[in-house]
Every structure is written in C-alpha cells, then in structure tokens.
C-alpha cells in the first residue's frame, strides 16, 4: 500500500497559472498577508498531511469511530493527537478573518491546502471542513455578539462546527423538516427533534461542538419559507466564554457506512436544547446557503483529493507489480505492468482528470475571492456570477470524476484491488459518498440548468464560453456544442430540460476541464524553455494536457443527444 506525497509542484502550478494567484496578490485585500510565501505554506501543510494524517487513513478505516454506553463518540487511535497538531499549526484559520483570529489568506489558498489534508485522510478532513462552513455562515450572517462569542474558538479549532439539516423524512426536500424551535421570552429558543446523517456531530477531539441547526418556529408556514437558523452548542457557554453544563443535544446512534468509517455519522436528538436565532425567523434557508455553497466547493474538493491519492497508489503499484511480457522483456522475466499500454492509458486518464479537477476547483475558489474582495464592483459582480455558475459543476463533476478515478485505481491493481489489504478499495469506498451529500449531484444539475444558466439572461455562461474559445480545436468544438445544448435547454423548460440536466452538467464539466488542460499545455510549453532543468515535469504536463484534449474531451460533444432527448426518452 503506497504512502501519500503532497503534489506540491502540481498545486503551485494550478494556483499560479490557472487560478491567477499572482493577480490576487495585487488586490488590496491581500497585499499584506504574505502570498509570496504560499509555496512555503503548502510545503508545511504537505508535511503534516503526509507524516501525520496519511498513516491514520487505513487504521482509522479499520477501527472506525464508536459510540460508547454514555453517548460519547470515541475516535480512532491517533486522531485526537493529529487534530491537536492540526489546530496548533493554525490550519483552521488560513482564510478566516484576522479580527476573529484568522490569517486572512484568500479562499483559493485554503482550498489548495485542504486538498492535501483530504487526500491524506478524507474522514479526518471532514471535521475541520464542517467547521469552515460554520465559520462562513456566522461570519456573514451572525450578529456582532454572535461573531465575538462563537468565531474565535471555531477559528482556533478548540471548538468545531456542524450542520444539522437532514431528518428521516426530510433529505433533499429540506422544507419537509419538522424539528421545532420555541421562543422562551428571553431571546433564547428551545429545540426538539431528530437529525440524521450528521457528520462529526459528536466526537472527542474538541472542547465544544457548535451545531448550526435548521428548525421551524411556532406558526411558521410549511416549506422552506418557514425554516429558521439556530446556533445550538454541545455545551452551553457563559458570558465570559467558559463552558457551562451540557446542552440537551446528544448522539443516539452512529451509521454503519460503506466508507469514511473514521468519520462519525451521527443521529442527533434535540430534547429541549437551548439555541439562539441567527438572523430573523424564516430566513434559515437563505442563510444556510452561505454555509452550503462553501461546503459544496469543499465536497467537490473531496473528489479531487481521493483521485490524487488513488492515482499515487495505482502508479506506485504499477511500477512494482510484474505480470506478462513485452517484446523487449528478458527471457524468464516479467514486465512491470506500467510498461503495458493499457495500464499506461489508465494511469494517464487518472492523472489528466485529476489535473483538470484541481484547476476547476481552484478557478472556482479564486472567482469567489474576487467576488468578495475585488475593489471594482463590476468585477465583483462578474466574479460572483462565475463562482455561482461553477459551484454546482465543481461539486458534481469533480465528485463523479473522483469515483471514476478511484474505480480505475482498483482496475490498475487487478484482482489485488478488490482485496481490502491493498487499500485501493478504501479510496473508492470513501469517494462514493461525495456525489450524494451536500445536495446530490442530480440536484446540482437541476440547480445549474434551472437557476444558473438563466442567471443574468445567460451572460455568465456566454462569458465563460467566450473565454474558453480559441485555444484548441477539440475545445472549440466542445464549446460550440455546449452553447447549442444550453440554447435547447432554454427553449424546452420543465421536464424536458430537467431530463437533460445531468448530461449537460457532465458536458460542461468536461469542457471546462478541457479549457484548463489547454491552458496547462500552453503554459508548460513556455515554462519548459524557461526552466529546462524541470523539463521532465513540464513534458509530463504536456502529455496529460494532450491526452485530455484528444481522448477525454471528445466525449463532451457526444452527450448532446442525451441532453436534448427530452423527458419522452425516460418512458
């Protein structure tokens, strides 16, 4: 079973040449945060990921988190110590606001760092990922008092955060939730209900857990308009910030899952738990989307991260495993399977898709950074629209690709990939949840077609397609077909458009991936002449670029019939 090595050169390349980190460094918001030291920051995060978190990936999968008789969740051996190293190094605070203890780096740098931690140990990474989402929601929508009380310990990592949305009868249909919140007359609320599928809802790694909970107040209308957002801590907090008694929220069960065994997926019961309202009553879904949109980007990152880990393991196995012969194999010997063309094809397919995912996610994060902090309001608006357009693609396409790459990793291992001891199967098992949670990929496709394509009369998509034109003939063909497909969807609203939403999202994801890989090829050719001592690295980039453009991208135009077949094709 291979170890994990942080792909520092690949990440640095994507940050600079795809996401435009150097341009971000010129903006006033980040003039003084030290973006010129980003590569040093990446190297230090990569060391912690490889040396501390990666060795716990397999042992955590085997042991899992367990619920004891007193309702406490015990994490696998080594996890608590790893988490302490994680927070002591400040990794929870990379992109948080300095006024709450954060380092103030742009989101794109944080995403690049989180890739390595997620590759090293996806189950572990979900805990700080949920905290980041809670920090984002409270930073944007919390009152000044709430920010002062909750954000410093969340940013510092001594407390962690969760999202409590799903209920047994209310999964994707969040408006069907029944958890109730009753005002107490002193500004507080008491909450009753049950939530399921709560990632890291209970654990032993932090002093407190801040649950962000959706619930319905008395006389609230049915559906999403009647939902409000609440802060419900595991332990109540005194005015001076010290912890008081345990709140009436507890874990009553852990799910037995296909993968991410070390990540406790909890059934949470609220039995009169004390909570405080965020914003106004009835605003819960609008406020929660701040948290969910960042979480969706970070879930898309899980697809990339597991793909990178699966690729590294498959490449190492293929270099070592000997089976069969080639014409130039010495008599009586077998060839390493990496010499067989079909194995090389699978590995190159894995690598090319992984590079395309990395570029897309960092491009999306950089657009969110510009939307938040560019001094020009017109630029902020355009960046916001691009970030909104790319978010469902980042979440859905990258997680689907992650599953595909992890599956290919098993295939490279052959029969050994189907044996748990090699560890190849764990990558597939861990990856399989990502297309499901934080809004299923079908819902992401509906969001893309129903909300994002019509946004601003289609201007964001038109701008994206224009930017992608003129780099490569196969890319130009794919761009033209995306434009045709988008026009068809606009002319066939309702079930016909919804029937083609998922293949359209795949088509757009493949095409944006082609744009990223065309840029990768162009930049690496220029850099090869400027840095001949790194010629092998730049030539490998050119190879993966050409493979994607010639062998992966042509599947995008082939999806046009699936997009435009309409609801009648579904029977």
Nearest-angstrom CA–CA distance, 13 and 526:
13
Does residue 459 belong to any structural domain of this protein?
A: yes
Which H, E and C letters describe 29-49, residue by residue?
Answer: HHCCCCHHHHHHHHHHHHHHH
Does residue 7 belong to any structural domain of this protein?
A: no
Model pTM above 0.75: yes
Provide the percentage of residues in the chain whose pLDDT is more than 90: 87
Res. 555: pLDDT tops 70: yes
Nearest-angstrom CA–CA distance, 220 and 282:
7
**Count helices and strands in the chain by DSSP H and E runs:** 19, 11
| Per-residue pLDDT band at 330 (split at 50, 70, 90) | confident
What's the mean pLDDT in 165-175?
Answer: 86
Does residue 510 belong to any structural domain of this protein?
A: yes
Mean pLDDT of the chain: 95
Sequence-separated (6 or more) residues with CB below 8 Å from residue 268? 164, 194, 195, 196, 198, 201, 202, 211, 249, 250, 251, 252
Please list the alpha-helical segments (H only) found in 157-212.
Answer: none
Does residue 281 belong to any structural domain of this protein?
A: no
* 506: containing domain: 441-571
Let me know the angle formed at the C-alpha of 178 by 175 and 179, rounded to the nearest 5 degrees.
115
What's the mean pLDDT in 436-461?
Answer: 96
**pLDDT at residue 513 in the model:** 98
Does residue 536 belong to any structural domain of this protein?
A: yes
Res. 1: pLDDT tops 60: no
What's the mean pLDDT in 175-185?
Answer: 93
Nearest-angstrom CA–CA distance, 117 and 132:
14
Q: What is the CA radius of gyration of the chain?
A: 24
Let me know the angle formed at the C-alpha of 447 by 441 and 449, rounded to the nearest 5 degrees.
105
**pLDDT at residue 11 in the model:** 98
Nearest-angstrom CA–CA distance, 235 and 245:
6
Res. 254: pLDDT tops 70: yes
Res. 2: pLDDT tops 70: no
Among 224, 230, 206, 262, smallest CA distance to 75 is for 262
Choose the catalytic residue: 438, 466, 531, 533. Answer: 438
Is residue 80 within a helix (H) or strand (E), and if so which, with residue range?
helix 79-88
Query: Could you say which DSSP state residue 203 is in?
Result: -
Is residue 114 within a helix (H) or strand (E), and if so which, with residue range?
helix 107-120
**pLDDT at residue 323 in the model:** 85
**pLDDT at residue 398 in the model:** 98
Nearest-angstrom CA–CA distance, 340 and 478:
31
Does residue 207 belong to any structural domain of this protein?
A: no
Structural domain count of the chain: 1
**Catalytic site includes residue 276:** no
Does residue 498 belong to any structural domain of this protein?
A: yes
**pLDDT at residue 172 in the model:** 80
pLDDT in tens, 376-434: 999 999 999 999 999 999 999 999 999 999 999 999 999 999 999 999 999 999 999 99
Please list the alpha-helical segments (H only) found in 235-322.
Answer: 284-320
pLDDT in tens, 270-297: 999 999 999 999 999 888 887 777 889 9
Res. 327: pLDDT tops 90: no
What's the mean pLDDT in 290-314?
Answer: 93
Does residue 122 belong to any structural domain of this protein?
A: no
Nearest-angstrom CA–CA distance, 33 and 434:
32
Res. 557: pLDDT tops 60: yes
Q: Which of 236-240, 474-478, 488-492 has the lowest mean pLDDT?
A: 236-240
pLDDT in tens, 491-514: 999 999 999 999 999 999 999 999
**pLDDT at residue 17 in the model:** 97
């Amino acid at each position: 079973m291979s170890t994990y090595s942080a792909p520092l050169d690949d990440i640095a390349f994507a940050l600079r040449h795809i996401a435009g980190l150097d341009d971000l460094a010129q903006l006033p918001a980040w003039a003084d945060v030290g973006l010129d030291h980003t590569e040093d920051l990446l190297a230090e995060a990569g060391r912690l990921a490889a040396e501390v978190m990666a060795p716990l990936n397999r042992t955590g999968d085997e042991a899992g988190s367990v619920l004891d008789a007193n309702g406490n969740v015990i994490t696998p051996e080594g996890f608590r110590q790893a988490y302490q190293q994680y927070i002591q190094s400040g990794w929870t605070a990379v992109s948080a606001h300095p006024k709450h203890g954060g380092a103030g780096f742009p989101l794109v740098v944080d995403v690049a760092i989180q890739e390595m931690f997620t590759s090293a140990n996806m189950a572990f990474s979900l805990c700080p990922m949920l905290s980041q989402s809670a920090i984002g929601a409270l930073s944007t929508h919390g009152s000044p008092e709430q920010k002062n009380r909750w954000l410093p310990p969340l940013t510092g990592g001594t407390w962690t955060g969760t999202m409590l949305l799903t209920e047994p009868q209310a999964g994707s249909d969040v408006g069907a939730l029944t958890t109730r919140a009753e005002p107490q007359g002193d500004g507080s609320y008491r909450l009753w209900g049950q939530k399921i599928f709560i990632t890291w809802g209970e654990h032993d790694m932090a002093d407190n857990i801040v649950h962000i909970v959706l619930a319905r107040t008395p006389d609230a209308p049915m559906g999403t308009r009647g939902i409000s957002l609440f802060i419900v801590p595991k332990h109540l907090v005194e005015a001076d910030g010290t912890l008081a008694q345990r709140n009436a929220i507890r874990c009553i069960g852990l799910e037995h899952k296909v993968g991410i065994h070390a990540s406790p997926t909890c059934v949470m019961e609220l039995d009169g738990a004390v909570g405080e309202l965020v914003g106004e009553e009835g605003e819960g879904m609008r406020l929660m989307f701040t948290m969910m949109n960042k979480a969706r980007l970070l879930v898309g990152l899980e697809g990339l991260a597991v793909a990178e880990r699966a690729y590294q393991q498959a490449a190492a196995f293929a270099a070592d495993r000997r089976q069969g012969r080639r014409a130039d194999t010495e008599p009586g010997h077998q060839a390493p399977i990496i010499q067989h063309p079909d194995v090389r094809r699978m590995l190159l397919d894995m690598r090319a898709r992984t590079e395309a995912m990395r570029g897309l996610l960092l491009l999306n994060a950089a657009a969110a950074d510009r939307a938040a902090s560019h001094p020009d309001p017109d630029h902020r608006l355009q960046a916001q629209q691009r970030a909104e357009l790319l978010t469902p693609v980042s979440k859905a396409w990258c997680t689907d690709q992650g599953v595909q790459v992890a599956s290919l990793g098993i295939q490279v291992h052959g029969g050994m990939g189907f044996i748990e001891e090699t560890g190849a199967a764990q990558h597939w098992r861990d990856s399989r949840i990502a297309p499901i949670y934080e809004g299923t990929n079908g819902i992401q496709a509906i969001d893309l077609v129903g909300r994002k394509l019509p946004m601003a009369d289609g201007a964001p998509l038109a701008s994206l397609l224009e930017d992608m034109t003129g780099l490569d003939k196969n890319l130009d063909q794919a761009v033209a077909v995306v434009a045709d497909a988008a026009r068809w969807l606009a002319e066939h609203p309702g079930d016909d458009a919804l029937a083609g939403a998922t293949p359209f999202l795949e088509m757009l994801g493949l095409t944006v991936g082609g744009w990223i890989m065309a840029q990768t090829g162009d930049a690496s050719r220029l850099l090869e002449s400027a840095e001949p001592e790194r010629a092998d690295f730049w030539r490998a980039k050119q190879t993966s670029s050409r493979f994607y453009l010639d062998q992966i991208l042509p599947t995008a135009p082939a999806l046009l019939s699936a997009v435009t077949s309409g609801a009648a094709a579904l029977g």
